[in-house]
Amino acid sequence: MASDDELRIRDRLGKLGNLPLLRGVAVSGELKRLQKQLKRLEQEPAPAGDDIWLSVELARHQERPYTLDYVERLMDDWTELHGDRARADDPAIVAGIGRFHGRTVALIGHQKGRDVAERVHRNFGMAHPEGYRKAMRVMELADRFGFPVITLIDTPGAYPGLAAEQHGQGGMIARCQAQMARLRVPTAACVIGEGGSGGAVAFAIADRVYMQEHAIYSVISPEGCAQILWRDGAEARKAAAAMKPDARHCLELGVIDGIVDEPRGGAQLNWDEAAFSLGETLRRGLADVESLGPEERRAARRAKFRSMGVTA
């Protein structure tokens, strides 16, 4: 249950963003986190056009650390699990178990490729339904053994290919969200680069959802939005400024629970520092919800997502 202080700060956070965002969310021991977020919202100016576009570029920077770079720095005894037990192993998604701060967790993330060959192999981090099915299998395993689940989100979107559609891309993404909403274990998610539409949200139904400082999270790519609304893909900067896919705005809109600091200039400049910062946030995020019972935790998670959006 939330303390009075927590409720007061959540209220102020809500008011700052002018949103009914925190209704019904059980919280526990996260006073400090909330205070920090509040400070961020109060003191730092909201980014506008150029700042937002910088994040779009940094989020897609080809030297930015990817899921396996963080795994290497944050996990011991990492054991990658492969295959959907039906027809494929999708390299655009990495899933496995390992030890994180002394306890076994499951980690699932999109994986982009570093060089041209790996980019093609990883399909630019765009998963097929088989990838989401692999993820769901590992989530099920984690839930059964009480392993907390960490997801790292970094995808332009789910792959829009013919076979992907024929094998039920939409339904698989829907069921992946449903499965995350059902998990009894603590869960934490972080957008570590591009949080592109449905392919991203499939992994984002977590107790704590974070974004790195220069990650983006959006319903459509700025280029796609510009193409449709401005009828000109080159107006992507305008579209980005209008959609506000940056972490600061996502926090203000109540969509995420916190922002993970990046090294000055972006995560691509210091992978170790970026990983340390990410690891600390994930550790604290899981600890925040650890003390809740499984039912209470799940109910709080559902209530959080149930409350998102703004209506008149």
Q: Kindly list the residues in this chain that would bind a second copy in the complex (CB under 8 A).
A: 85-87, 129, 133, 166-168, 171-172
Nearer to a second copy, 23 or 87 (CB): 87
Of residues 104 and 270, the one with the C-beta less far from other proteins: 104
Find which of a second copy, other proteins, none residue 269 binds, CB within 5 to 8 Å per kind.
none
For residue 84, the minimal CB distance to a second copy (Å) is: 9
List the structure tokens of 256.
């995420």
DSSP assignments along 73-112, one per residue = HH-EEEEEE---SSS---TTEEEEEEEETTEEEEEEEE--
Q: How far is the CB of 167 from a second copy (least distance, A)?
A: 5
Q: How far is it, in rounded angstroms, from Cα 263 to Cα 269? A: 7
In the complex with other proteins, which residue's Cβ is closer, 238 or 263? 238
C-alpha angle 257-152-94 in degrees, rounded to nearest 5: 160
Using CB under 8 A as the binding rule, whether residue 258 contacts other proteins is answered as: no
In sequence order, what are the residues at sequence separation of 6 or more whose Cβ sits closer than 8 angstroms to the Cβ of residue 251?
37, 40, 41, 211, 258, 259
What's the rounded Cα separation, in Å, for the pair 176 and 181? 9
Q: Cβ of residue 85: shortest distance to a second copy, in angstroms?
A: 6
Instruction: Give the per-residue contact string, 59-98, with other proteins (x = CB under 8 A; - = no).
Output: ------------------x-xxxxxxxxxxx-------xx
Closest by alpha carbon to 54, among 307, 275, 268, 237? Answer: 237
Place of tokens 């990883």: 122
Residue with smaller CB distance to other proteins, 31 or 303: 303
Q: Does 306 bind other proteins (CB under 8 A)?
A: yes
Q: Which stretch binds other proteins (CB under 8 A): 23-31, 65-73, 225-233, 259-267?
A: 225-233
Q: Which is nearer to other proteins, 34 or 239 (CB)?
A: 239
